[in-house]
Amino acid sequence: RHDRTTRHHIALIPGDGIGAEVLPPARQVLDAVGARHGIGFSYASYDWSCERYLREGAMMPDDGLDQLRDKDAILLGAVGYPGVPDHVSLWGLLIPIRRGFRQYVNLRPIRVFEGVESPLRAAAAGDVDFVVVRENVEGEYSEIGGRLNRGNPEEMAVQEAVFTRAGVTRVLDFAFELAARRGGTLTSATKSNGIVHTMPFWDELVAERAAAHPRVSWDQEHIDALAAKFVLDPARFDVVVASNLFGDILSDLAAAVAGSIGIAPAANLNPERAFPSMFEPVHGSAPDIAGRGIANPLGAIWSAAMMLDHLGHPEAAKDVTDAIAALLAKTDVRTADLGGGATTAEFTGTLLELL
C-alpha cells in the first residue's frame, strides 16, 4: 500500500447500446484495483452518442474537445445506433477525438486465453500474444478525393491516401520501441507490389527506422499473406505495425479469431502525453443484445487496464489482466458470447472476487 494516493481525472463516454453496460464494470474494476495500489479516480460523464445526434443533431457539442482537454484519459464504451450511418459516429466523434488529440497510435493486443474456444488454438503451436500497432490519423482514411462525371458512363471516384514522413516515422518509432520492450520482433504490413507510391515509401521508412533500432529483428509481409498467417500461424507474431486501413482490418480479424470480439481492447494513444488518450473496447454498440444485461464487459475492462498502464501503473494493469486470465482459465463463468449464461453483473462479480 502507498501512503499517498495518485489521482486521475477520467472522462467517461458510455455512448450507445452496450457501451453503457460495459463501462460501469470497467469503473468498478478501476476503483477496486486503484484502492489496492493507491490510485484514486474521479470521473466526468458525457452523454455523447448517436442518441444525442438523433435528439440534437450532433454527436457532441461544438466545444467537445475543450471539455476533454484537461482529463488524464478518456474511457469510451461504444457508439452506433440502428438507422444512424456509421460515418456519422465516426466523423462526428471518434475521428475528431483521435485527430484533435493526436492519438496517432492505435494499439490492439490480442491473446488467446486458456479457457476460451478459438479456431486459432488448433493452429497455434505456441502462445498467441501479440499487438497490432495501427497508424491512427492519416494514410488511406483521408478526406481528399471526390466523384467525377456523376451519373454518366465515365463516372469515377478518386480517394487519395496521405502518408507523411513525420506521421509514418512517429508510429514506426512507437512500434519499434514497443517491440524492444516485448519479444524483440516486428512485422510490417505492406502492399508495395500493388500500391506503388505510398507503400514503397512506407517500406523505406521501416528500413530507415529499423536501422535506428538495431536490437529489434523485423520483417515485412504483404497484407494479403499476413491476413492468412494471422489465422494459420498467429503464435509467430509479437508486434505488427500497419497503416490506418491495413491495421483496422488486421486488428478486427485478430480480435474475432481470438475467441470473441467481446474481449478485445483498444487504446488510441498520444504517446507524448500532450493530450488525453482514449481507451475503448473493439466491439460496437451491439444493438442485438443491448438492454439485456448480458454483454461481455472484458473488452472494456481490459481497455481500462491499458489506461492504467498508460497512466504509469503497470502493476495495477497486470493485476487486471491476470484476473481476466484467471477468470477464463479457472472458472466456468461465461457470458453468452463465450458460450455461457452469466450476466454482465455476474461475470464482473466473479472477476472482482479474483482481483
Contact residues toward ligand ATP (CB under 6 A) are 18, 22, 78, 80, 86, 261-262, 283-286, 288-289, 295-296, 299, 335, 337
Least distance CB 181 / ligand ATP (angstroms)? 29
**Minimal CB distance residue for Mg ion:** 284
Give the span between the Cα atoms of 244 and 105, in whole angstroms: 9
77/284 with CB nearer Mg ion: 284
284 binds Mg ion (CB under 5 A): yes
Torsion of CA 213, 171, 8, 20, to 10 degrees: -140
Best CA proximity match to 289, nearest among 351, 337, 346, 347: 337
Q: Which is nearer to ligand ATP, 96 or 183 (CB)?
A: 96
Is the distance from CB of 342 to CB of 22 less than 8 angstroms? no
Report in angstroms how near the CB of residue 344 gets to ligand ATP at its nearest.
8
Cα–Cα dist 100/221, whole Å: 31
In the bound state with ligand ATP, the residue whose beta carbon lies nearer, of 39 and 295, is: 295
Cα within 13 Å of Cα(147), Cβ side: 5
Chosen from ligand ATP, Mg ion, none, partner binding at 68 (C-beta under 5 to 8 Å by type): none
Distance (Å, whole) CA 78 – CA 81: 10
Residue nearest to ligand ATP (CB): 284
**Residue 353 C-beta: closest distance to ligand ATP, Å:** 21
User: Between β-strands 129-135 and 239-242, what pairing exists: parallel, antiparallel or unpaired?
Assistant: parallel
Q: In this structure, how many other beta carbons lie within 10 angstroms of the beta carbon of residue 149?
A: 10
Least distance CB 111 / ligand ATP (angstroms): 16
Query: Hey, what amino acid is at 95?
Result: I
Shorter beta-carbon distance to ligand ATP: residue 14 or 262: 262
> Closest CB to ligand ATP among 296 and 321?
296
Which amino acid belongs to residue 238?
A: D
User: Where does this chain bind Mg ion (CB under 5 A)?
Assistant: 284
